[in-house]
Amino acid sequence: MTALRFAPSPTGYLHVGNSRVALANYLFARRHGGRFLLRLDDTDAERSRPEYADAIAQDLRWLGIDWDETFRQSDRLALYAEAAERLKAAGRLYPCFESAEELKAKREMALKRGRAPVYDRAMLRMTPEQRAQAEANGKTPYWRFRLSDGAVEWTDLVLGRRQVKLTAVSDPVVIRADGTPLYTFTSVVDDIATGITHIVRGEDHVTNTGVQLDIFAALGADPARIAFAHLPLLTGTDGGKLSKRIDSLSLRSLRQDGMEAGAIAAYLARLGTSDDPAPLPMQALIEGFDFGHVSHSAARFDMPQLLALNRKVLHALPFAAVRDRLPVGATEAFWLAVRGNLDLLNEARGWWDVVAGTIVPPLVEGEAEYLRAALELLPAEPWTSEVWTEWTGALKAATGRKGKALFMPLRLALTGEDHGPELKDLLPLMGRARAATRLGLAA
């Protein structure tokens, strides 16, 4: 069975970059009737936080993503220790004692001599006696994985044929001196144990994929059973790399700004593909998802484009979908009147103040006489949906005004804005007393 996973580190909030990766994994898994796992890579005890783990789960559910299984790597340390012992016995893990300063000096020397700063495997030449002496002197080893010679190749579902020359890559550190296993290693152990068939992540992991395929083989798994898809990275509006730490692009902050989950999901699902973003429900996104549509080039995250999609989503939402997020007392008639003029749901608050609260309209200069006439001709209640037409018809007959000259002073006086929802829909919600007060203030 097809099986995919999303494996965030709970060291911060989800941003649009890793949300796009999560969505791609989820859509592919669901389209192919497979399993989707949420794995929390939390072996970095210093930076991982429970509150971030909770926030990740909350944000994924808000986006419309669910999962079949979830676990934390911190609960699986015994599994990693057992795998590490197997690799040690096979001669694929070897202890190292160099300090950070010594490694830095080696890299600088290699660069000075015009060579790639690849680890020189000096510790492989250490004798048992030298290791015993180092440990007797109080040094604790960290462990590197000895990469195979040659190259690793695979056919990427997005990028096509890819190759990583392992001889050009440093043997990765997979276990710290304190015994903590690192992602490069633990990820492979978990992917084997949970039967993952497809790994979808950013293009910046291509070299890491070559290394991990070598670890797959060393642990006795068949690397050919794992398919990879590397998504080109997102760029900002200026074309630069999209920072993972831009708070304004976290899912949490976009939600607080009034962005709709449906708009974000629809945008990210098609960002960087040959399919235009459209306000589609999750099931339609699942049915239409195809790695063959993903461009090889970096995708630009365009906030105006996301806002435009958010408008389309908002304009089609029924009252039941937003009732709990509207101001207290807001009715279906209010929602139907204003939804077509909203970029963000938060803007509904301003229009609720217009129809049900207190605003101070601007003084409409040069229109005092006209507004007084409008006040005199303001129909008595009860008001129906025809009150705007009746009122403006009477004003037109009395003053000879038409078009903008007829409507604009009334809009400014009643709403304080020069554009917005249709006044024929707002006026009945506003009521005669409120309308009369504003006409008097604006005159």
For residue 226, give every residue at least 6 positions away whose Cβ sits within 8 Å of its Cβ, in sequence order, or none: 191, 196, 197, 198, 199, 213, 216
For residue 315, give every residue at least 6 positions away whose Cβ sits within 8 Å of its Cβ, in sequence order, or none: 339, 340, 342
User: What value does the CA radius of gyration of the chain take, rounded to a whole number of Å?
Assistant: 31
Cα–Cα distance, 379 to 181 (Å, whole number):
77
Pairing of strands 227-231, 198-202: parallel
Long-range (24+ apart) CB contacts under 8 A made by 205-210 are: 205/230, 206/159, 206/162, 206/164, 206/230, 207/164, 207/169, 208/184, 209/152, 209/154, 209/162, 209/164, 210/151, 210/152, 210/163, 210/164, 210/165, 210/166, 210/169
Q: How many CA atoms lie within 13 A of 64 on its CB side?
A: 21
pLDDT of residue 246: 45
- Structure token digits, residue 377: 């001709």
Look at the block and give the residue holding tokens 């990820």: 187
Cα–Cα distance, 307 to 204 (Å, whole number):
28
pLDDT of residue 113: 87
pLDDT of residue 247: 44
Please check whether residue 233 is in contact with residue 298, taking contact to mean a CB–CB distance below 8 angstroms. yes
Q: What is the pLDDT along the chain (443 residues), one digit of tens a residue?
A: 999 999 999 999 999 999 999 999 999 999 999 999 999 999 988 899 999 999 999 999 999 999 999 999 999 999 999 999 999 999 999 999 998 898 898 888 888 888 889 999 999 998 888 888 888 888 999 999 999 999 999 999 999 999 999 999 999 999 999 999 999 999 999 999 999 999 999 999 999 999 999 999 999 999 999 999 999 998 877 666 665 444 458 999 999 888 999 999 999 999 999 999 999 999 999 999 999 999 999 999 999 999 999 999 999 999 999 999 999 999 999 999 999 999 999 999 999 999 999 998 888 889 999 999 999 999 999 999 999 999 999 999 999 999 999 999 999 999 999 999 999 999 999 999 999 999 999 88
Residue type, 245: R
- Structure token digits, residue 6: 């999303």
Residue type, 442: A
Query: Which domains does the chain carry?
Result: 3-69+184-235 (3.40.50.620), 79-175 (3.90.800.10), 247-321 (1.10.1160.10), 332-442 (1.10.10.350)
Please check whether residue 173 is in contact with residue 142, taking contact to mean a CB–CB distance below 8 angstroms. yes
Q: How would you write the chain as a 3-class SS string?
A: CCEEEECCCCCCCCEHHHHHHHHHHHHHHHHCCCEEEEEECCCCCCCCCHHHHHHHHHHHHHHCCCCCEEEEHHHCHHHHHHHHHHHHHCCCEEEECCCHHHHHHHHHHHHHCCCCCCCCCHHHHCCHHHHHHHHHCCCCCEEEECCCCCEEEEEECCCEEEEEEHHHCCCCEEECCCCCECHHHHHHHHHHHCCCCEEEEEHHHHHHHHHHHHHHHHCCCCHHHCEEEEECCEECCCCCECCCCCHHHEHHHHHHCCCCHHHHHHHHHHCCECCCCCCCCHHHHHHHCCHHHECCCCEECCHHHHHHHHHHHHHHCCHHHHHHHCCCCCCHHHHHHHHHHCCCHHHHHHHHHHHHCCCCCCCCCCCHHHHHHHHHCCCCCCCCCCHHHHHHHHHHHHHCCCHHHHHHHHHHHHHCCCCCCCHHHHHHHHCHHHHHHHHHHHC
Cis bond upstream, residue 361 (ω within 30): no
